[in-house]
Amino acid sequence: MRASHVKRAFKYRFYPTDVQAAELSRTFGCVRKVYNLALAACTEAWARQVRVNYNQTSGMLTDWKKTGELAYLNEVSSVPLQQALRHLQVAFTNFFGKRAKYRASSRHTTSAFRFRDGKLTLAKMAEPLDIVWSRPLPEGAAPSTVTVSQDAAGRWYVSLLCEDPSVQPLPATDAAIGIDAGLDHLLTLSTGEKISNPRHERRDRARLAKAQRRFARKAAGDGANRAKARRKVARVYARIADRRRDHLHKLTTRLVRENQTIVIEDLAVRNMVKNAGLARAISDAAWSQLRSMLEYKAQWYGREVIAADRWFPSSKLCSACGSLQRKMPLQVRTWTCDCGTTHDRDVNAAKNILAVGLTASVCGAGVRPQRKTPGGQSATKQKPLQREP
């Protein structure tokens, strides 16, 4: 992909008027209704081993609008409703992979908004949105789609998808780095650098617990007060997520700018969070989000991200001589190999991750360097080893 064709979503907070908020809330409700109706139709057809495509759901939408019960769908812009049906084609498949998730939002294509002189006006609205332009759009930007959303904390956002010609491949470099993810330290690099874990959720745990207790005390029938308490809980979560995302953006941008090749672990985070004792800490570390940022930024800037085999015993393997230790309890943070090399557990793991990643890049995915156990036996002849925690 040419850099001039890279599309980026620029997200901004905005403050709607009461009229705009009511219109957007009504649009969100209609989008949700259409999405759920179409999903029910697709699910029922799937049970009969029949596939329902977009054109068929679009025809259903036309029929729904003609009924007295759903005539209110005509009161909002039709574009977000059609976009909901398009998204359903992907989301219905993702449902079986447990990835489908509805959120309060509406997507508008060029026929459903006007962007002129730095002002954005949505269809069915007389006034432009009051957007806080926290950063400039690319010069001459022409948004192709606009997505309006509201998070659980009640904050309104608008995301503009634009081509960004400023995204250019960075000058090539020979620098390569291996990354070992952890909880004591968020990342340990093959250079020996350790990046601390900010533990954003832990920093706000007391405030979160207080908000949750207040919410729990509200009676189910106390609608207004219960909603207000729920909103306060959501605001604490939003504060945590904002800080986490900001930190990860800064960290991943630095790693991509400094290195041509980045090798990471292919962690099965979904399975790891099933450990009740570590689930909270693992979720707070946001390894999946970090990997996603690394991958799309590497694609933007001409870098390479390689995922090392998740079963590769990076902590047990001596990065100096290649011998494989039979056991490596989690509490062991430093160890000395028979060759005389003393290792920091995490730095050694990062070095091995880099080595196996570069080998896989040259020889093909899944290739591991030849290694020997302390007894001289080739590790490739042993039974597959489970990844240590």
Element spanning 10, H or E: strand 7-14
Closest to 65 measured CA to CA, from 51, 52, 77, 50: 77
Tell me if 194 sits within 8 A of 185, measured CB to CB.
yes
Residue 252, both tokens = 């991943």
Edge-to-edge strands, sheet with 145-150: 7-14, 156-163, 145-150, 105-109
> What pLDDT, on a 0 to 100 scale, did the predictor assign at position 382?
35
Tell me if 318 sits within 8 A of 339, measured CB to CB.
yes
Tell me if 316 sits within 8 A of 375, measured CB to CB.
no
3-state percent helix, strand, coil for the chain, nearest multiple of 5: 45, 20, 35
Tell me if 201 sits within 8 A of 284, measured CB to CB.
yes
> What pLDDT, on a 0 to 100 scale, did the predictor assign at position 224?
84
Tell me if 106 sits within 8 A of 27, measured CB to CB.
yes
Tell me if 308 sits within 8 A of 297, measured CB to CB.
no
Residue 302 CA from chain centroid, whole number: 21
Indicate the pTM of the whole model. Answer: 0.82
Residue 123, both tokens = 């269809």
Q: Which letter does DSSP use for residue 327 in this model?
A: -
Closest to 284 measured CA to CA, from 346, 208, 227, 211: 208
CA 283/CA 262 separation, integer angstroms? 22
Residue 229, both tokens = 């308490």
Q: Give, in order, the Cα–Cα distances in Å from 56 to each of 42, 83, 94.
A: 10, 14, 19
Residue 206 buriedness (CB in 10 A; 0-12 / 13-18 / 19+):
exposed
Residue type, 367: V
Question: Would you please indicate which residues are annotated as catalytic (active-site) residues?
Answer: 180, 265, 346
Q: Around 63, how many Cα atoms within 13 Å sit in the side-chain half-sphere?
A: 8
Tell me if 16 sits within 8 A of 129, measured CB to CB.
yes
Task: Report the 10 Å Cβ neighbour count for 330.
Answer: 9
Residue 280, both tokens = 């909270």
Positions of the chain with pLDDT lower than 70, given as ranges = 1-4, 92-103, 221, 360-389
Q: Which letter does DSSP use for residue 164 in this model?
A: -
Domain range list for the chain? 3-163, 176-307, 309-381
> What pLDDT, on a 0 to 100 scale, did the predictor assign at position 367?
41
CA 159/CA 146 separation, integer angstroms? 6
The alpha-carbon radius of gyration of the chain (Å, integer) is 25
Residue 47, both tokens = 């049970």
CA 27/CA 116 separation, integer angstroms? 23
Backbone angles phi, psi at 10, to 5 degrees: -105, 115
In the chain, the largest separation of any two C-alpha atoms, in whole Å, equals 82
CA 76/CA 65 separation, integer angstroms? 11
